[in-house]
Amino acid sequence: MVQFSIADIENLTNIKAHTLRIWEQRYPVFKQTRRPSGHRVYSSDDLKQLLRIAWLYHNGCKISEIMSLSEDEQRTKALGVDQNNLENSQLVNQLLEASIDLDEIAFSEVADSVVLSYGFKKAMLDVFFPFLNKVGLFWLTGHITPAQEHFASYTIMRKLIVAIDKLTPVRTGKGRLVLLFTPVGETHELPLLLIQGMLKQAGVRILYAGVQVDTKTLNYLINYKGVKECYFNLITNSCKPPIQELFDELSAKNADVEFYFSANSYLLEGIKNPSNFHYLKSPADIDAYIETIIS
């Protein structure tokens, strides 16, 4: 059985260990489990419940309100989504259903039709970004397994790589060059591929460094290629060095470089962005950022 330490839980939920201990004393969050040494341990079910609680907490719900709900009520509240665009919601749900069934043929048919009908950029912003957010949320609420989540992510990744490869690269040395990367500890590449495809389609020059790029390598690439603009994404709180240290180090060594990044908002609580760091908090912000490059 997979077990997590309280340090693991702190990193995954972005809730301090001290706060978790207080919650355990006040509320029956889960049954207490300890190793023979006395250290707390948490199961996968504990993690999912705490992630669900953390998601509600980071989105403005008071812990007392959350804990007054049953697990089913917490799931229902966590699954509240914007249904303003019914057509997009239907496409997202079709992709989700294919993911739950692990049906690659059905998934591919829907995904291919979305790209064909919407075009690459609109498909990314209006369907695939919302779908990936919902997949993560459905895992937290116990509706799909990690295997189903990985199936969805890697199926999209394969399609993205093929689609990106078909786009014509910009060969001229003129125009802005954007370096794409994730820091050490951040293994999620899919958001980076989404940005790569959107930039490449827009005719922007790209230097794709990939995932888990250490600061020494990053500084070398920036200096060697004369990079003035970088983009990275943060999905988890696992980057090394920690987020504030990473920001401060990169800013100090690259004061003339502009860093654009997207991240789950709760990861940035208490973080002070250096003046050359710019947070893109939504797909609309990412779209607006790309427009500034090509305008």
Give the containing element (helix H, strand E) for 97.
helix 86-100
Which residues, 6+ apart, have CB-to-CB distance to 83 below 8 Å?
89
Is the model's pLDDT at 2 over the cut of 70?
no
Give the containing element (helix H, strand E) for 231.
strand 229-234
Pick the more confident residue, 30 or 233. 233
Predicted TM-score (pTM) above 0.85: no
- Of 220, 36, 198, 9, which Cα lies nearest the Cα of 119? 198
Pick the more confident residue, 93 or 291. 291
Task: Give the strand pairing for 229-234 and 205-213.
Answer: unpaired
Mean pLDDT of 86-108: 84
Q: Check if the beta carbon of residue 230 is closer than 8 Å to that of residue 258.
A: yes
- Residue 239, CA distances (Å) to 51, 184, 215, 236, 267 in order: 18, 5, 11, 7, 11
Pick the more confident residue, 38 or 206. 206
Which residues, 6+ apart, have CB-to-CB distance to 44 below 8 Å?
1, 2, 4
Average pLDDT, the chain: 84
Q: 11-35: b or e for each residue (b if 16 or more CB lie within 10 Å)? A: bbbbbeeeebeebeeeeebeeeeee
- Residue 163, CA distances (Å) to 3, 89, 112, 115, 116 in order: 39, 23, 10, 10, 11
| Cα 80 from chain centre | 19
- Give tens-digit pLDDT for 34-91: 766 667 788 877 887 888 888 888 888 899 999 998 888 887 787 664 444 557 878 8
Determine the Cα–Cα distance for residues 109 and 35; give it in Å rounded to an integer. 48
Percent of the chain scored above 70 by pLDDT? 91
Is the model's pLDDT at 8 over the cut of 70?
yes
Determine the Cα–Cα distance for residues 239 and 92; give it in Å rounded to an integer. 30
Which residues, 6+ apart, have CB-to-CB distance to 106 below 8 Å?
94, 97, 98
